[in-house]
């Protein structure tokens, strides 16, 4: 059985056709303005229609990952924070039926990526898994006993990047305070850098403020870059311990663009977890995503297994 797969990200949309854990014909659409989703849908429909026309077999449905809080039971976007702000008012099930003649299943993009890693990636064969995604924001999702829990509103174990890690931390885009995301993510890094009292003395003052440059300058011994790198590593490690204590995973998968610095990040987190997690039977394996930014597309088959269209 084949499925259309769509990952609605903030800056681009990935899409493709997934069948038996193989991804075919995948591509990306740039989305220069992701303030609203409705104007993007005709473009998406055009690309998906071409995929349908070019496929000889039967397509069972379309699975969509969304960069916000999704009520999977209702198949609707529940809340967004700045991207596609009109999405909660859109009936994407009706759009899919009318535009593509296909049933649709909607999921949070991080929960869909976790399904992908469990089906064809770093957590293949595992049933108790946490996935943390380090990028512009921080995603944090968990599967327990092979299932992604629903909770009262459909997003249990799905917004771990917003687990508070400090009492008096920075206000976050989610409305909370001291979340992992508001303490160490791509969007907050430039703010963190400029707040350093000795920022002007650092090479950071002369480059684009992103994690690639932060890790590069830390390697050269730049004191401000080193200090901020250690701060971010600690935030991610504390979030990992919180997730381990909450979900008791066998494996923790790290994804996201910041994982280009895997060689620094993973050993640091493993060391912190060994020392600080209450794991009497041993710490979980801590590994990098194998599917990268295609993980959500790979998760669509499992999404339909979890929530078949009726
Ligand atoms: Zn938050």
Q: How far apart are the first and last CA of the chain?
A: 16
Note the pLDDT of residue 32. 79
Sequential DSSP letters for 242-253: HHHHHH--SEEE
| Residues 9/66, Cβ–Cβ less than 8 Å | no
Distance 106 CA to ligand 1 centre (A): 22
Task: Quote the ligand 1 centre to 169 CA distance (angstroms).
Answer: 10
CA contacts within 13 A on the Cβ side of 39? 9
What's the gap in Å between 67 CA and the centre of ligand 1? 14
pLDDT-derived band at 144, boundaries 50, 70, 90? very high
Radius of gyration of the chain, Cα coordinates, nearest whole angstrom: 20
Q: How many CB atoms lie within 10 A of CB 117?
A: 27
Distance, CA 201 to ligand 1 centroid (Å)? Answer: 31
What confidence tens digit (pLDDT) does each residue in 262-297 have?
A: 999 999 999 999 999 999 889 999 999 999 999 999
Q: In percent, how much of the chain has pLDDT > 70?
A: 100
Does the pLDDT value for residue 194 go beyond 90? Answer: yes
Compute the average pLDDT of residues 236-245: 96
CA 228 – ligand 1 centroid, Å: 20
Gap from CA of 174 to ligand 1 centroid (Å): 4
Per-residue pLDDT at 310: 58
Q: How confident is the model at residue 150 (pLDDT cuts 50, 70, 90)?
A: confident
Q: Any residues with CB less than 8 A from the CB of 222 and at least 6 apart, and which? A: 202, 203, 204
310: helix, coil or strand? coil
- How many whole angstroms from 189 Cα to the centroid of ligand 1? 15
Query: What is the distance in A from the centroid of ligand 1 to the CA of 175?
Result: 6
Average pLDDT over residues 107-128: 95
pLDDT at 218: 98
Q: How far is the CA of 52 from the centre of ligand 1 (A)?
A: 38
Whole-angstrom CA distances from 304 to 97, 105, 294 are 16, 7, 17
What is the tens place of the pLDDT at every residue in 61-116?
999 999 888 988 889 999 987 889 999 999 999 999 999 999 999 999 999 999 99
CA 66 – ligand 1 centroid, Å: 17
Q: What is the pLDDT of residues 7-59, one digit of tens each?
A: 998 778 999 999 999 998 899 998 877 789 999 999 999 999 999 998 888 99
How far is CA 13 from each of CA 33, 57, 84, 152, 287, rounded to the nearest angstrom? 12, 24, 12, 29, 26
Of all residues in the chain, the percent with pLDDT exceeding 90 is 80
Closest CA to 143 of 106, 118, 109: 118
C-alpha of residue 11 to centroid of ligand 1, in Å = 20
CA–centroid distance, residue 165 to ligand 1 (Å): 10
pLDDT of 193 reads 98
Ligand 1 center from residue 176 Cα (angstroms): 5
């Amino acid at each position: 059985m084949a499925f259309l797969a769509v990952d609605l990200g903030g800056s681009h949309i990935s899409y493709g056709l997934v069948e038996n854990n193989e991804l075919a014909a995948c591509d990306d659409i740039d989305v220069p303005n992701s303030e609203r989703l409705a104007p993007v849908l005709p473009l998406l429909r055009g690309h998906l229609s071409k995929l349908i026309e070019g496929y000889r077999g039967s397509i069972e449905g379309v699975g969509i990952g969304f960069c916000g809080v999704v009520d999977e039971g209702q198949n609707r976007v529940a809340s967004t924070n700045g991207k596609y702000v009109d999405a909660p008012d859109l009936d994407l099930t009706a759009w899919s039926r009318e535009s593509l003649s296909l049933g649709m299943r909607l999921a949070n993009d991080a929960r869909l990526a976790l399904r992908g890693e469990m089906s064809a990636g770093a957590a293949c064969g595992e049933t108790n898994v946490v996935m943390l995604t380090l990028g512009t924001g921080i995603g944090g999702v968990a599967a327990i006993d092979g299932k992604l829990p629903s909770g009262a509103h459909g997003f249990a174990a799905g917004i771990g990047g917003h687990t508070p890690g400090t009492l008096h931390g920075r206000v976050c885009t989610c409305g909370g305070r001291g979340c992992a995301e508001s303490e160490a993510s791509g969007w907050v890094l430039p703010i963190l850098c400029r707040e350093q009292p000795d920022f002007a003395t650092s090479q950071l003052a002369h480059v684009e403020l992103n994690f690639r440059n932060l890790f590069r300058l830390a390697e050269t011994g730049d004191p401000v870059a080193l200090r901020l790198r250690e701060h971010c590593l600690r935030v991610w490690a504390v979030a990992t311990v919180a997730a381990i204590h909450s979900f008791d995973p066998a494996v923790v998968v790290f994804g996201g663009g910041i994982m280009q610095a895997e060689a620094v990040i993973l050993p640091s987190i493993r060391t912190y977890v060994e020392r600080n997690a209450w794991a009497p039977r041993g710490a979980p394996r801590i590994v990098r995503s194998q599917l990268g930014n295609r993980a959500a597309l790979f998760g669509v088959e499992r999404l339909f297994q979890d929530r078949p269209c009726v």
